[in-house]
Amino acid sequence: MRNLFATMTLLSLSFYQLSAQQPVDTPRTKDTAIYIQPVRHYLSAPTRVDVLYGTQNSENILGSVSSIYTNQLTSTPASLYAYALAGRLPGLYTQQTRGWTSTNNTAVTYSDAIFGQFPTTNTIGSKGPTDNTEINLLLRGQAPVTIVDGVQRDIYTIDPENIESVSVLKDALSSILLGVRSSRGVILVTTKKPVTGPTRLSFTAQTGVQMPLNLPQPLPAYQYDYLYNEALGNQGLSPAYTYNDFEAYRTHSDPYGHPDVDWFNTLLKKSSLISRYSLNISGGGGAARYTVGLGYLNQAGLFRTDNSNYNTQAQIKRYTINTNIDVDVNKYFTTQLQLFARIQDGNQPGGYTDNIISGMYTTPNNAYPVFNPDGSLGGSQAYPRNLYGMVNRSGYVQDYTRDINANLTLKYRFDQFVKGLWFRAQSNLAVYASNITDRSATAPSFKYSLSPAGDTSYSRYGSTLDQSNTFSLTSSAQYWYLQTALGYDREFGKHAIGGKIFYDRYESIFNYDLPATNQNMAATVTYSYAKKYFAEATVNRSGDDRYPPGKQFGWFYAAGLGWDMAKEDFIAHNNSLGWIDKIKWRVTYGRTGNDNVGYFTWRESYTTSGVSVPVYQFGTGRSSVVGAQQNVLANPNISWEKGDKLNAGLDLSLFRNQLQFTAEYYNNKYFDLLQVRGKQSTIIGISYPLENIGINRYTGFEFTTTYQGNYKSLNYFITGNLTLEKTKVLFMDETQRAYPWNKQTGQPVGMTFGYKVDGFIQSQQEAQNSAAIAGYTLQPGDLKYHDMNGDGVINDYDKVPIGQKAPLLYYGITAGFNIKGFDVSALLQGVGNRSYIVPFYAFGGNGTSQAYNYIVGRWTPETAQTATYPRLTPGINASNDPYIFDRLSTQWMQNGNYFRLKNVEIGYTLPTRLAAQMKLYSVRFFANGMNLFTHAAFGRVDPEVNTQVYPIQRVINVGVNVKF
């Protein structure tokens, strides 16, 4: 693979000879403007905008399309370009879920979840391998399809320096060519294309410091022991620790017998490095043009590692190459060849990153010392695996990911026969593979003991396992894509007519599955008059071979109308100062689909594993024979999920485009959603299948406002976007509900149900007179649940919606300026009207796990009026614990509102004369940062990452860009 990487590089560089004909120094206006005046033109959209499978004049756009460009992506110092999308694109909701994915223990992520049912937790993915497991992206509530250079691929590791634009296509008309996959919207990534001009080289080198955010605050050992004794006493049990124990823990006088180890500070460094290098080469003449992008990323983890014989640090090293070559065979025939390759090598400790992080959260400070007096690893019967040993004495695990993507496009214009007639064909072949080399080991731990006579002893826990050496393929995928289109575009005076007949076929194989095939046959027509009235319509016959034979294809359609009112005479004739540039109204509507079908779920499937049935084989004696058992009832009538999507928008531009405003309203009804019926009995002993029965509605408003201007040599801009998103379950086949407050129908999609808490039980008399869970005796300090139906028992009949009912609100504000070579930009991103469950466990389910400072606010008779946490108990509490017995309640529901200073960049470009003296085109120094400041309504955990995962990071980064 490395040889292939080098070969592709050499082939691309040797292409200079072919492309050197008639060089002309005319780089794209978009790129040049960003460099020369990076702030003034920071938000200026080009004349042609990237749309699905092509480009379109911005004035003709009827659908909902939002875009950002290279300089907005490169200002974010991160391993994935998806991080740069937060807060920049209206309608796109982002949530970072973790801070590290260097390796996958199981490697592949499949997402065949129910479409639209639980958009914040079970989003639809690409039904295949994806390299985006750190951040959830939802486009108007749905997980979007990602398309890179016209091909459906979930690749988020493209070097931002190689990306020309990222667009989101949100309405039916913009995505209808996807047919049976058009409901979810699109993230459209377009890499840089060749331009005519002399050979240009751009080299960027940058390095940054990563620092973990929002690490929890575990209790010191002496405080843990005091509260643990209190928990035991609340259960009528004897204390586990004496006063002498408290003193030894508090004073650290006996570090081996009474350890106090903060595992977060012990195992995690304060910072680690991330480095990125990019080399971009472009140029070409009249016959051929080229662009080559090379990228390298080295991201180190946060573990504290010792100087062992092998590397146990969590780490990612990534190499990418992206080449585009355009050749004009003649004045009518153009060919384009793109080659993309990625090599990604990951490393992590043999104890596995996720297991170590989980252990850090659950191991109390007093569990064991890091080392015993003799240098052996500390441990105990309850905690036989030493966390330090899991990082440094457990070998290592490496994973490897390889991607090759070849894209060939042919376009022929028939102007010599019929002016405006053209034909395009595109084919793509891609191969993906990931594997893992496991060289992990296990080291034993020892518990040190000191007898009253002064004798020492060691008790051994765990076993010694020699370092393994296994290699396995964790996932593989092959993709093949073919697209053909015959189109016609022509202007006749004030009339502009366009049309296209379109066909594509997408085949994919994941691991050893049977191939999956998706096809679209579509026709599109566009019309505009005087660049004032616009119309567009598309009809698509689309299908997926995962559906039953004879039921694999369906019809999908979309249409739109537009009117630029500013071009009407009654405005144009009264616009003497020219302050009105655009007042464009537009509306689109369409029937879309989502092929959330799974793997041939319409067929019966059986298993023989573990199925043993006693039968009379001979005579009167019974014996067991292996049988077959049906897995789940099949649904021979399964079909795609459907959507009716309405979008209405207004684009306003004033004062020679200095002030721009866009407002959009959408109303999307998703129906035939795959859900399991709730009213059917399971008496038959087998699960019921998914059926097309659910109905959800998503509505919302999106607003974007931009102002940009200049004063002498000062150029400045500010832009803001705001999205309001509301959801509602219109129908689901839920079981009969005795009370209206139990019904999920009519609630927001994914609403959390639980108990309403009316404070804490304050006295024994109140405990005796309050409604309780069956079989549980209430005690003072327990949660007091609201008895909704007044029957004296707390059960499912008392559950109510406890999540946020107000529309979800998310926004972003970007501002910047440049003057005399200096440029500054900043991004503020936030979310409102959001709530989420954050359960806290005192001593965990096993009763001896770590505890955190929030339990200091527990209920006691002395703190009864100010308590924020129930009375302490060791282990599981059948009434108070939120997840163990499905006791979700308002006690654990937290306000999820927050805003972040997501990104800041400061740059300085050397004067042109000074750069020229160094024989350079330009030199720019910059510093940027990510996640620099966060204000959250609930500050105990990160507002995005609230589970026990690798922490997200703040990044401070510096770099230089040199153009030759």
Q: What is the pLDDT of residues 36-79, one digit of tens each?
A: 333 334 445 557 889 999 989 888 999 999 999 988 999 999 88
Cβ-contact 317, 306 below 8 angstroms: no
- What span, in angstroms and rounded, lies between the C-alpha atoms of 657 and 709? 9
Cβ-contact 389, 377 below 8 angstroms: yes
Q: Which residue would you say has higher pLDDT here, 814 or 609?
A: 814
Shortest CA distance to 547 belongs to which of 573, 567, 527, 517?
517
Report pLDDT digits (tens) over 512-550.
888 999 999 999 999 999 999 999 999 999 999 999 999
Cβ-contact 313, 304 below 8 angstroms: no
Q: Quick check: 809 pLDDT over 80? A: yes
User: Measured at the alpha carbon of residue 192, what is the angle toward residues 189 and 197, in degrees to the nearest 5?
Assistant: 165
Shortest CA distance to 629 belongs to which of 578, 675, 685?
685
Report pLDDT digits (tens) over 503-517.
999 999 988 888 999
What separation in angstroms does the CA of 853 have from each of 107, 246, 856?
35, 17, 6
Shortest CA distance to 186 belongs to which of 63, 74, 71, 79?
63
Q: How many residues does the chain have?
A: 964
Cβ-contact 63, 647 below 8 angstroms: yes
Give 650's pLDDT tier (boundaries 50, 70, 90): very high
Output the pLDDT for position 19.
Answer: 36
Measured N-to-C along each axis, helices 221-234 and 243-251 cross at an angle, to the nearest 10 degrees, of 150
* Mean pLDDT for all residues in the chain: 88
Report pLDDT digits (tens) over 450-503.
888 878 889 999 887 788 889 998 889 999 999 999 999 999 999 999 999 999
What separation in angstroms does the CA of 577 have from each of 79, 565, 567, 581, 657?
48, 17, 14, 11, 13
- What span, in angstroms and rounded, lies between the C-alpha atoms of 798 and 805? 18
What does the block give as tokens for 910?
């050397």
Q: In one letter, which amino acid is 769?
A: N
Give 678's pLDDT tier (boundaries 50, 70, 90): confident
Q: Quick check: 903 pLDDT over 90? A: yes
Other CB atoms within 10 Å distance of the CB of residue 522: 21
For residues 325-329, give the mean pLDDT: 95
What separation in angstroms does the CA of 348 have from each of 103, 317, 353, 437, 549?
7, 12, 6, 11, 46
Shortest CA distance to 520 belongs to which of 479, 556, 480?
556
- What span, in angstroms and rounded, lies between the C-alpha atoms of 370 and 255? 10
Torsion angle in degrees (nearest 10) through CA of 459, 461, 463, 468:
-120
What does the block give as tokens for 252?
């650290």
Cβ-contact 671, 695 below 8 angstroms: yes
Tokens 């689909």 belong to 593
Reading phi first (left if > 0) and then psi (alpha if -120 to 50, else beta), residue 288 is in: beta
Output the pLDDT for position 111.
Answer: 27
User: Is the overall model pTM greater than 0.85, yes or no?
Assistant: yes
% of the chain at pLDDT higher than 90? 73
Q: Is 12 helix (H, G, I), strand (E, B) or coil?
A: helix
Cβ-contact 81, 69 below 8 angstroms: no
Give 609's pLDDT tier (boundaries 50, 70, 90): low
Output the pLDDT for position 771.
Answer: 95
Output the pLDDT for position 574.
Answer: 81
- DSSP line for 697-731: EEEEEEEEEEEEEEETTEEEEEEEEEEEEEEEEEE
Cβ-contact 477, 394 below 8 angstroms: no
Give 881's pLDDT tier (boundaries 50, 70, 90): confident
- What span, in angstroms and rounded, lies between the C-alpha atoms of 54 and 409? 12
Q: Is the dihedral of CA 652, 655, 660, 661 positive or negative?
A: negative
For residues 80-89, give the mean pLDDT: 93
Max CA-CA distance within the chain?
Answer: 106
Cβ-contact 346, 316 below 8 angstroms: yes
Q: Quick check: 5 pLDDT over 80? A: no
Shortest CA distance to 369 belongs to which of 445, 262, 255?
255
Q: Quick check: 8 pLDDT over 80? A: no
Give 810's pLDDT tier (boundaries 50, 70, 90): very high
Tokens 């609230």 belong to 946
Output the pLDDT for position 108.
Answer: 27
Cβ-contact 858, 891 below 8 angstroms: no
Output the pLDDT for position 116.
Answer: 27
- What span, in angstroms and rounded, lies between the C-alpha atoms of 170 and 189? 14
First to last CA, the chain: 30
Quick one: DSSP state of residue 444?
Answer: -
Shortest CA distance to 64 belongs to which of 778, 759, 916, 663?
663
Cβ-contact 230, 871 below 8 angstroms: no
For residues 893-901, give the mean pLDDT: 95
- What span, in angstroms and rounded, lies between the C-alpha atoms of 241 and 222? 9
**688-702, 869-883, 893-907: range with lowest mean pLDDT:** 869-883
Q: What share of the chain is helix, strand, coil (3-state, %, to 5)?
A: 15, 45, 40
Bridge partner residues of 274 (DSSP): 208, 299
Output the pLDDT for position 289.
Answer: 95
- What span, in angstroms and rounded, lies between the C-alpha atoms of 550 and 929? 55
Report pLDDT digits (tens) over 169-224.
999 999 999 999 999 999 999 999 998 999 999 999 999 999 999 888 999 999 99
Output the pLDDT for position 866.
Answer: 94
Output the pLDDT for position 621.
Answer: 65
- DSSP line for 547-604: SPTT-SEEEEEEEEEEEEGGGSHHHHTT-TT--EEEEEEEEEEEEEEE---TTTTTS-
Output the pLDDT for position 624.
Answer: 67
- DSSP line for 219-275: PPHHHHHHHHHHHHHHTT---S--HHHHHHHHHTS-TTTS----HHHHHB-S-EEEE
Quick one: DSSP state of residue 362?
Answer: H
What does the block give as tokens for 636?
């021979």
Q: In one letter, which amino acid is 205?
A: A
Output the pLDDT for position 468.
Answer: 87
Reading phi first (left if > 0) and then psi (alpha if -120 to 50, else beta), residue 847 is in: left
Output the pLDDT for position 629.
Answer: 75
Q: Quick check: 29 pLDDT over 70? A: no
Interacting residues of 222 by C-beta distance below 8 A, sequence separation 6+? 246, 247, 249, 250, 260
Q: Is 16 helix (H, G, I), strand (E, B) or coil?
A: helix
Interacting residues of 482 by C-beta distance below 8 A, sequence separation 6+? 425, 426, 427, 428, 504, 505
- What span, in angstroms and rounded, lies between the C-alpha atoms of 680 and 678? 6
